[in-house]
Structure 1
Amino acid sequence: MDFELTPDQRSFAEEVERFLNENQDPEVFDVTRENMAQIVDTPARRAFMRKIADRGWLGITWPEEWGGQDGDGIYEYVLNEALAGRGGPQIGKGVGIIGKTLLAVGSDKLKAEFLPKILRNEVEFAVGYSEPEAGSDAASMKLRAVRDEGRGGWVLNGQKTWTTSAHFAEWYWVGARTDPDAPKHYGITLFLVPLDHPQITIRGIWTMGDERTNDVFFDDVFVSDDYVVGELNKGFQYISQALDLERFTMFSFAPIAQRLDLLTDYVKGATRDDEPMSADPVVRQKMATLATEAEVARLLGLRVVAAAEKGGAPPTTEASEYKLYATELSKRLANASMDLGGPGAQLKVGTEEAPMKGRAESTYRYTVLDTIGGGTSEVQKNILSRRKLGLPKNF
């Protein structure tokens, strides 16, 4: 494959950069939030994403009949990476996970209700897969949905956890078990549920990265049949495809490149015992290794784009390869920033006199999340061992 952008793609990238320069706003862009910078959780961030929508940049790859442009995925990739490199909100969840699943399996009613709102950035979603006893193993979810024939719908009871956007989103994209007697990878159905439902309780959980996620409790929450996504009991199959999208779109490469540049600039100017740190052969080897691995991660990301263009469906193994490699590299880069920054690297982010203005310590805390969200590194290894290497499940 050709890893270089075409003239049209380069022109689009330049247009995006000009737009971002014109709309630079510290209330919208914050690289110190690392991967969590992507969420659209404030009025300023929502207003900015509406500007993105007004330019027709949401749903670039969607069919024209639903407001998209039938464009190539590389344009979405260029846009998302540019946003991520600035620490800005991104297009991944609504346009990618929810929108593309609805396009594939949603009813006409759901498409008509939600797709225009997504393209206009008028709605935010939370995604509910994880439960206290079903984290990376989403097929083990126990949130129960019981049929209510009289009202024409389902009654949901149980708990979800680690739902990052539940405290500001309007709708919950949630999986529930509709057939408890089916094998665990079957009998799960996807629902769309309004998060202001009076029988939903949301409780905050504060993470080591100074960000909020949530427990969400369902107490006899009724959901109409109109808000069932796709076919009954096929929810896990839809979730698996959506996770392939999440593993790529929600873990962009640009923040890794930005932090590598920051560390490189620091090493160029830092000294140890009155000697330039850049002259130390051990440091030089470490930086060369990180630079090489960063290029590998970038190209693995482009392979995901290329594979999606060929097959149309989310590329499972390519997405897992990228997610595993890029997020583990992100942790290694965080470790190197702490090591090379020395004791001062432990000072809190924003401390002017700290190495890299304290970015190392926040990176060190945040990057743990990246190896867990969207399926842990261990899950990605299992996917690759079975689907790419053909190894048995009990290997």
Structure 2
Amino acid sequence: MDFDFTPELRAFAADVETFLDTEQVPGDTSVFDVTRENMAQIVDTPARRAFMKKMSERGWLGITWPKEWGGAEGDGVYEYLLNEALARRGAPQIGKGVGIIGKTILAHGSPFLKQKFLPKILRNEVEFAVGYSEPDSGSDAASMKLRAVRTTRDGVEGWVLDGQKTWTTSAHFAEWYWVGARTDPAARKHFGITLFLVPLDHPGITVQGIWTMGEERTNSVFFDAVFVPDDHRVGELNKGFQYISEALDLERFTMFTYSPIAARFELLVNWLRNAEVDDEPVRQDPVTRRRVARLATEAEVARLLGLRVVAASMKSGPPPTTEASEYKLYATELSQRVANAAMDLAAPGSQLRVGTEEAPMAGRAESTYRYTVLDTIGGGTSEVQKNIIARRRLGLPKNF
């Protein structure tokens, strides 16, 4: 497989870097903040929204969308190059609204939903939260219990939603909730779920914050008789899990980028070049050299697995499921191995908090060690990815 980029792609990547050089202000972390690790991708402040608006004006948010809806119909590799460049600098990324919600609406949404949401997404006028996980159904999204009961209110056909979601990262600042609910309790669990778009300012919705070990906020969201008109139902009734699965294939790749892992590894290597223990250079220790060499090899494997997803996604058809799971599993566990290595090799100094100038790597080891736990959970745990690979790539039975 040829992974060389064309002159047009290299020119686009250079254009992105020039734009980011112009936008990034040294010392200002309001938009660019690598210490937020994978959470740097969310658009949760006015400054980050303003930054995304500038990308919208350049036509980059819809670079892979159909021209009919304001896109450029570019290959997925353009989106890959853009997201990797953004992630490398700790800038917000385009994965959720453009990818998860936008691409699902493009594929399965009604004309009403397309007209209502697609222009707003491309103009960066709306933020979404995604609601799949529940207290009793985290990794197993198909076992969700949030109820949606068909009803009529004031002559409008719709649904009443009751129940709870959890681990909804963006619910405290987003305008709309992309949420799965059980519409047919009698159906097998994968076939009784429907997707809805619900305004988060609905009076029946309560959002409660949960603070993670990475010092980022996620949320529990409670539904109390929340009425949703049927025209805000996404796609066909009871086919929501199919759409969720397609969206998760996108999420597993676009929201767990490779470049931050490479940057953290490079930070570790640069520190090791000058580090000493008992007046002896750490770089000469054979155990350290072997560990770093292994990580360097694994980083290249992760990069190529990502490129394989890009190549597969350029074919017609649904998102590449097994390729996305293979990348997500390998890259996020590599992310943890890099974090673990930084903690081990920097010894006691690695426990100093991020931003401590005298700490090894300015405290990034401690920060990444806490944050990278999320990487192997979000978008489906490592165990979920292994099951997907086992069934769909290796052809193993479901109950093996």
Q: TM-score range by the shorter chain?
A: over 0.9
Counterpart of 1:232 in structure 2 is: 237
Question: Aligned runs of 1:276-315 on 2, under 5 Å?
Answer: 276-315=281-320
Of 60, 66, 70, 2:69 maps to: 66
Q: Deviations over 1:8-60 (max 9, x none)?
A: 10110000000000000421000000000000000000000000000000011
Aligned to 2:189: 184
How far, CA to CA, are the matches of 2:367 and 2:274 in structure 1?
Answer: 21
Query: Could you tell me how far apart the structure 1 residues matched to 2:36 and 2:18 are?
Result: 23
Q: Equivalents in 1 of 2:193, 2:282: separation in Å? A: 55
Shift of residue 140, structure 1, vs aligned partner: 0.2
Q: Which of 389, 393, 396 is 1:384 aligned to? A: 389
3-state SS in 1 of match to 2:161: strand
2:368 is matched with which residue? Answer: 363
Q: 2:344 aligns with which of 339, 344, 355?
A: 339
Separation (CA, whole Å) in 2 of partners of 1:306 and 1:313: 13
How far, CA to CA, are the matches of 1:228 and 1:99 in structure 2? 14
Q: Are 1:275 and 2:283 an aligned pair? A: no
Q: Give the equivalent residue in structure 2 for 1:52.
A: 55
Report the equivalent of 1:3: 3
Q: Deviations over 1:276-320 (max 9, x none)?
A: 111111111111111110010000001001001023420000000
How far apart in 2 are the matches of 1:390 and 1:157? Answer: 38
Query: Within 2, Cα distance between the matches of 1:205 and 1:293?
Result: 34
2: CA distance, partners of 1:113 / 1:351 = 47
CA distance in 2, matches of 1:164, 1:347: 27
Aligned mates of 1:69, 1:112 — CA distance in 2: 18
- Give the distance between the partners of 1:193 and 1:201, measured in 2 at CA: 13
1:41 equivalent to 2:68? Answer no
1:79 match: 82
Q: CA RMSD in A?
A: 0.6
What amino acid sits opposite 2:104 in the alignment?
A: T
- When normalised by structure 1's length, the TM-score is 0.99
The AA in structure 1 aligned to 2:120 is K
Does residue 149 (structure 1) correspond to residue 187 (structure 2)? The answer is no
Equivalent residue runs for 1:14-25 within 5 Å: 14-25=14-25
Shift of 1:394: 1.2
Structure 2 CA distance for aligned equivalents of residues 242 and 203 of structure 1: 25
Gaps of 5+ in 2: none
In 2, the alpha carbon distance for the partners of 1:184 and 1:15 equals: 47
Q: Which position in structure 2 is the counterpart of 1:218? A: 223
1:368 deviates by 0.3
**Structure-2 separation of matches of 1:4 and 1:312:** 24
User: What secondary structure is seen at the aligned counterpart in 1 of 2:71?
Assistant: coil
**Partner Cα separation in structure 2 for residue 167 and residue 308 of structure 1:** 32
SS in structure 2 of the partner of residue 311 of structure 1 = coil
For residues 311 and 134 of structure 1, the distance between their equivalents in structure 2, rounded to whole angstroms, comes to 32
Residue matched to 1:115 = 118
TM-score, structure 2 normalization? 0.98
Give 1:248's aligned residue.
Answer: 253
CA distance in 2, matches of 1:16, 1:177: 42
Partner of 2:358: 353
Residue identity opposite 1:234 in structure 2: K
> Which residue in the other structure is 1:207 paired with?
212
Find out whether 1:168 has 2:173 as its counterpart.
yes
Shift in Å, 1:166 = 0.1
State the match for 1:320 in structure 2. Answer: 325
Whether 2:143 is the aligned partner of 1:140: answer yes
Q: Output the CA distance in 2 between the equivalents of 1:191 and 1:283.
A: 51
In the TM superposition, what whole-angstrom CA distance separates every residue of 1:130-158 from its partner, at most 9, and x where no partner exists? 00001010000000000003530000000
1:361-391 per-residue CA deviation (whole Å, 9 max, x = no partner) reads 0100000001000000000000000000000
Structure 2: how far apart are the matches of 1:393 and 1:72?
34
Secondary structure at the counterpart of residue 13 of structure 2 = helix
* Partner residue, 1:13: 13
Other structure's SS at 1:351 match: coil
* Residues in 1 aligned to 2:220 and 2:322: alpha-carbon distance in whole angstroms: 31
Pick aligned residue for 1:102 from 101, 105, 122: 105
Supply the distance in 2 between the matched residues of 1:79 and 1:120 (Cα, whole angstroms). 17
Distance, in Å, in 2 between the alignment partners of 1:273 and 1:249 is: 43
**Alignment partner of 1:152: what SS?**
strand
Structure 2 residue identity aligned to 1:143: L
Instruction: Structure 1 unaligned segments of length 5 or more: list them.
Output: none
Which one-letter code corresponds to 1:10 in the other structure? R
